Chains A and B, each alone.
Chain A
Amino acid sequence: MSLFDSFSISSSGMKAQRLWLDLISNNIANINTTRTANGGPYRRQVPVFAQRLQETMENGIRECGVVVTRVTEDNSPPRMEYDPSHPDANEQGFVAYPNINIVNEMVNMMIASRAYEANATVLESAKSMALKALEIGRG
Chain B
Amino acid sequence: MPGGKVTDLPLSFGWQGWIFVLGVVLMNIYGDKTFRLLEKAMDAGNLRQRVIANNIANINTPGFKKSLVKFESILKEELSGGRIPLATGDERHFGVNSLVNVNPLVVKETATSMRADGNNVDIDDEMTKLAANTINYYTVTQELNNRFRILGTVINGR
Which residues of chain A have a CB within 8 Å of any CB of chain B?
Answer: 1-3, 5-6, 9-10, 12-13, 16-17, 20, 49-51, 63-66, 111-112, 115, 118-119, 121-123, 125-126, 128-129, 132-133, 135-139
Contacts and interface: CB of A to CB of B under 8 A. Distances in A.
Interface stretch (B6-14, B41-49, B75-83, B88-96): B41-49
A92 to B, nearest CB: 37
B59 interface: yes
**Secondary structure of the B side of the interface?**
helix
**Secondary structure of the A side of the interface?**
helix
Given A1-B43, A1-B47, A115 B59 contact: yes
Give the most central of B53, B58, B127, B144: most A CB within 10 Å.
Answer: B53
Contact of A118 (B42, B45, B127, B131): B127
Contacts of B53: 6, 9-10, 13, 65, 119, 122-123, 126
Give the most central of B50, B56, B141, B152: most A CB within 10 Å.
Answer: B50
B112 interface: no
Sorted from nearest, which 9 A-B pairs have the closest CB atoms?
A13-B57, A9-B53, A49-B61, A6-B53, A66-B57, A1-B46, A65-B57, A6-B50, A6-B49
Interface residues of B, number: 34
B30 interface: no
B101 interface: no
A27 to B, nearest CB: 16
A111 B60 CA distance: 9
Contacts of B18: none
A49 to B, nearest CB: 4
Contact of A66 (B45, B61, B130, B152): B61
A63 B43 contact: no
Given A125-B134, A132-B137, A135-B145, A3 B60 contact: no
